[in-house]
Amino acid sequence: MALLTWNDKYSVGVRSLDNQHIGLFNALNELHAAMSKGQGQSMTGPLLARLLKYTHDHFAAEEAMMAAASYPELPPHRAKHRELTQQVMDFAARYESGEIAVNVDLLNFLRDWLTTHIQQEDRAYSPWLQEHGVS
């Protein structure tokens, strides 16, 4: 059973960004499935590497769209992205130091952050981007 299932309540109305969000849902579901099979520790390293790449690529794309549309709330949104990136880097450091509990903590943190961030922060920019021709 998937930890997160994509549906329209997560859509920000911009197909490329929705597809990137779906990619993160899939990564979390892979970790959840691995943990349920007792393979979470072996999946955490690759997942963290994937998440760090995701944060860089996705946030850059999202911020570029917001900048092109002159989204007035870009600076605080960018700050939230930097905060998440730092938190993922902190999880990576915990993982590399051998902390076993990082798997469950990471899974719960990302599930909660992702659903809250998409449904609140990202959905806030959706009307602005759509009004400015981004879809």
What mean pLDDT is predicted for residues 108-115?
87
Q: Is the pLDDT of residue 47 over 80?
A: no
Number of domains in the chain: 1
> Is 85 among the domain residues?
yes
Q: What CATH number does residue 85 fall under? A: 1.20.120.50
Separation CA 72–CA 130 (nearest Å): 14
> Is 42 among the domain residues?
yes
> Is 107 among the domain residues?
yes
At residue 103's C-alpha, the angle toward residues 16 and 37, to 5°, is 95
> Is 20 among the domain residues?
yes
> Is 4 among the domain residues?
no
Q: Is the pLDDT of residue 43 over 70?
A: yes
pLDDT tens digits for range 50-109: 878 888 898 999 999 999 999 999 999 999 999 988 988 888 888 888 876 667 788 888
> Is 55 among the domain residues?
yes
What mean pLDDT is predicted for residues 100-129?
85
> Is 7 among the domain residues?
no
> Is 3 among the domain residues?
no
The pTM for the full model equals: 0.83
pLDDT of residue 34: 80
What domain range includes position 56?
14-131
The amino acid at 98? G
Q: For the residues of 85-134, what is the DSSP string, one character each? A: HHHHHHHHHHHHTT-TTHHHHHHHHHHHHHHHIIIIIIHHHHHHHHHTT-
